[in-house]
Amino acid sequence: MEDDTRNRILRHGLSTDEIYERIVIEADEEMHRPARELLASGLAGGFAITITVLLYVSMTHSTDGAVLASALLYPIGFIYIILGNYQLYTENTLPPVALVLDRIASIPAMLRMWGLVLVGNLAGGTLGAVVLAFGGVFSPGAAMTAVEIGMTGVETEWWSLFFKAMFAGLIVAGVVWMDFSVTDSVTRFFLVYMAFLAIPLGNLYHVVVASTEVMYLVFLGEIALLTGATQFVLPVLLGNTIGGVLLVTVVNYYQTSTEIHEISITLDPRGWLFSYEPGTIDARELEAELEQKIEH
């Protein structure tokens, strides 16, 4: 009892178990959303990334490529997505994986969610690239800067892109974990802003930004679609995914207590591997069970 009292006094934030509980509950709700809703949310999230591309290109052009000044508005698109609760593929390397690790949801159900959100994001980014390429949004000078930025990614070595993207995936999944530990909007804003500012400052890559840049180049006739997809988007996609899943999700999973993972109703091995079951336990029942484990 004395230890419990001491922990309550010394700990001002949520414990890892409490953060994990919030992630699992949120993920369970998202996994049960209809495909149409996931696609629509992913589409909105992908189009919002156009804001990041637009502002990053414009700032790079107007500041003559000054690194810090160019990056200052880069996080705006991501802030719009996260505070607006839109779907972003790289955010989903954490919550759905947590459900799968606890066998609350199946692997095919997770892949279904990933696929729907990714398709929505890429479609939204493509729509944004159309606007940027043909809508007269960029000045002639900024349009040239956009081409230079995109070609830099395409011309970067495949494995360099992969490892840079791994760190970006780590950042995004880390933001998701920390975002569940805070509640007020101001803290969330600065958390997201500072984290995503690290991507351009660290010369890292995010898959939806990369795909938007590639489609912009394709629409202008600068590169072939296959070239951009295989030499730029693919390594960034793989790096983001592995960085988010392995470096954050699995590590954070194993730092939580053993008891919280002992869910009473889970999928059997066959269902976990082959079914499209998004979950077998009622959300309220799941929340009550997790809270009981944390209290004990």
- pLDDT class for 6, splitting at 50, 70, 90? very low
pLDDT digits (tens, 9 = 90+) for 42-70: 999 999 999 999 999 999 999 999 999 99
Asked which of 121-130, 212-221, 279-288 is least confident by mean pLDDT, the reply is 279-288
pLDDT above 90: residue 98: no
- pLDDT class for 1, splitting at 50, 70, 90? very low
Residue 49 · residue 124 · CB < 8 Å: yes
How many CB atoms are located within 10 Å of the residue 132 CB?
24
Asked which of 129-138, 241-250, 274-283 is least confident by mean pLDDT, the reply is 274-283
Tokens of 59: 């700032």
How many CB atoms are located within 10 Å of the residue 154 CB?
18
- pLDDT, mean of residues 217-224: 98
pLDDT above 70: residue 2: no
Amino acid making up residue 266? T
pTM of the model: 0.91
Question: Which domain, by its residues, includes 72?
Answer: 2-295
Asked which of 4-18, 36-50, 127-141, 274-288 is least confident by mean pLDDT, the reply is 4-18
Residue 45 · residue 120 · CB < 8 Å: yes
pLDDT above 50: residue 256: yes
CA-based radius of gyration for the chain:
20
Choose between 137 and 264: higher pLDDT: 137
- pLDDT, mean of residues 208-231: 98
- pLDDT, mean of residues 122-126: 98
- pLDDT class for 80, splitting at 50, 70, 90? very high
pLDDT digits (tens, 9 = 90+) for 152-184: 999 999 999 999 999 999 999 999 989 988 888
- pLDDT class for 17, splitting at 50, 70, 90? confident
| Cα–Cα distance measured from residue 195 to residue 168, given in angstroms and rounded to the nearest whole number | 9
pLDDT above 90: residue 86: yes
- pLDDT, mean of residues 112-121: 97
pLDDT digits (tens, 9 = 90+) for 176-211: 989 988 888 899 999 999 999 999 999 999 999 999
Give me the percent of the chain exceeding a pLDDT of 70: 89
CATH code for the domain of 69: 1.20.1080.10
Pick from 160, 42, 130: which is nearest to 90 by CA?
42
**Predicted pLDDT of residue 277:** 74
Domain tally, the chain: 1
Residue 228 · residue 218 · CB < 8 Å: yes
Percent of the chain that is helix, strand, coil (3-state, to 5): 75, 0, 25
pLDDT above 70: residue 293: no
pLDDT digits (tens, 9 = 90+) for 25-40: 888 888 889 999 999 9
